[in-house]
Structure 1
Amino acid sequence: MSVSGVLIRRMLRVEKHNEWTPPMGNALFFNVDSSTRGSPGEAGIGGALRDVTGQILLFFSSYLGVMDSCSDEVHAILKACQLVSSKRFLLMHHISIITYSKSIVEWIQGDDFSHLPVAHLVYDIRKFMHDMAGLEIMFKPRASNSLAVSLAKERSVNQGDRLQWRVL
């Protein structure tokens, strides 16, 4: 069994105890999260794109360097937007990017926000949402996001990037 297969199986065992619920119909859920060791501190992001059966279509984790916990969560959402836009077949689906950060969802959906260092990233995310019909950013409690949490924590302590698509 591959190393990534073992990692995903271990993360899914943790997730069984939490409340991940599948999307309905032709929709996909892209759970994202970030992890910072200190504020500011070493930061990582991660995410997993899943279909209605819970099948993982994609997972990623990336090391960001040193930053604060608000900035890294915005980076996680932006990375998910970039990955979704990179595959044409995904544009046929309604995709919800799910984060545990209610304030960042409010920044993206609102008219004003106070965290100026990431203003340009928020505007990039808004542009993705404008250009891709069926893309939304939504808040759910962290318990529903344990796979993304594990992927982000993995990168806050291990530099480098991981990206794996399931062969479709």
Structure 2
Amino acid sequence: MPKMSQSCLDRAAVAAALGEQLPDAILENLFPEYRLADVRAVLCGAKKTAGPATLTSSPAQQQSLFVEPTSGSGLACKLFTDGASRGNPGEAGAGSVLLDGDGQELAARSLYLGKCTNNVAEYKALIMGLQSVLELDCGRVDIFLDSQLIVRQIQGQYKVKHPALKPLFEEVKELLANIDSWTVAHVPREQNKRADELANKGIDEKAA
């Protein structure tokens, strides 16, 4: 930890101390959209800016993490997905919305999932959304979720330890392997309202 003068407290020294001492979980909650290593480097004065916590698939990454990708049509899309569980675990739903480059909806889906945890619902929503991507033959897709855990797991930053999530994670990998180019990023909940609306619609339609 940096030494601080007893006569004055310097802003840079405070930032450096926080960068060195704060646990990963706190920094990730404070700066969810930025890479953890970059956040620490900025606080410690080693860097001026932090890069976004976004993983872009490349041939090398796909080779190491996923099966060989297939070709697509080249259509560029954006996918927003969300899972909702009332009770966690409780009655759950999944929602996904696929947009074209102009922001027009290509596919919007909602699904009742029965009783499960929120994390399971998040994965099932992503799977449902990726199925839409493949059905419409998108060559590139930018994926957005408000679940930081799921994003970090797909990026490889967090291991998937829960037995209920492991098969869902594997299914996501298989689906992603069939998309030419993709990115995944965390977004604040307020930027994922349409997918959230669809997830809750899935729960509400249980009785229909």
> The TM-score by the shorter chain falls in which range?
0.7 to 0.9
Matches within 5 A, 1:67-78: 67-78=116-127
Matches within 5 A, 1:1-20: none
- Which residue number in structure 1 is paired with residue 192 of structure 2? 145
The answer to whether the aligner puts 1:97 opposite 2:147 as a matched pair is no
C-alpha distance after superposition, 1:65-109 (max 9, x if no partner): 000011100101111111211233x23xx2112110111111122
Is the contact between residue 129 and residue 136 of structure 1 (CA under 8 Å) also seen in structure 2? no
1:108 to 154, 158, 165: 154
Structure 2, unaligned stretches of length 5 or more?
1-74
2:171 to 124, 139, 143: 124
Is the contact between residue 107 and residue 132 of structure 2 (CA under 8 Å) also seen in structure 1? no
Is the contact between residue 84 and residue 92 of structure 2 (CA under 8 Å) also seen in structure 1? yes
Q: CA deviation at 1:50?
A: 1.1
Q: 1: CA distance between counterparts of 2:180 and 2:128? A: 18
- Which residue number in structure 2 is paired with residue 66 of structure 1? 115
Q: 1: CA distance between counterparts of 2:207 and 2:172? A: 23
Is the contact between residue 98 and residue 132 of structure 2 (CA under 8 Å) also seen in structure 1? no
- Which residue number in structure 2 is paired with residue 34 of structure 1? 83
C-alpha distance after superposition, 1:128-147 (max 9, x if no partner): 22231112332111111111
- Which residue number in structure 1 is paired with residue 7 of structure 2? none
Q: 1: CA distance between counterparts of 2:207 and 2:183? A: 28
Is the contact between residue 32 and residue 145 of structure 1 (CA under 8 Å) also seen in structure 2? yes
The residue type paired with residue 182 of structure 2 is L
Q: 1: CA distance between counterparts of 2:201 and 2:207? A: 10
- Which residue number in structure 2 is paired with residue 57 of structure 1? 106
Is the contact between residue 63 and residue 160 of structure 1 (CA under 8 Å) also seen in structure 2? no
The residue type paired with residue 147 of structure 1 is R
Is the contact between residue 95 and residue 135 of structure 1 (CA under 8 Å) also seen in structure 2? yes
The residue type paired with residue 46 of structure 1 is G
Q: TM-score, normalised by structure 1?
A: 0.72
Is the contact between residue 49 and residue 56 of structure 1 (CA under 8 Å) also seen in structure 2? yes
Is the contact between residue 62 and residue 160 of structure 1 (CA under 8 Å) also seen in structure 2? no
- Which residue number in structure 2 is paired with residue 166 of structure 1? none
Greater relative contact order (Cα 8 A, min sep 6): structure 1 or 2? 1
Q: CA RMSD in A?
A: 1.8
The residue type paired with residue 32 of structure 1 is T
The residue type paired with residue 59 of structure 1 is A
Q: CA deviation at 1:160?
A: 7.6
1:45 to 94, 114, 118: 94
Is the contact between residue 36 and residue 68 of structure 1 (CA under 8 Å) also seen in structure 2? yes
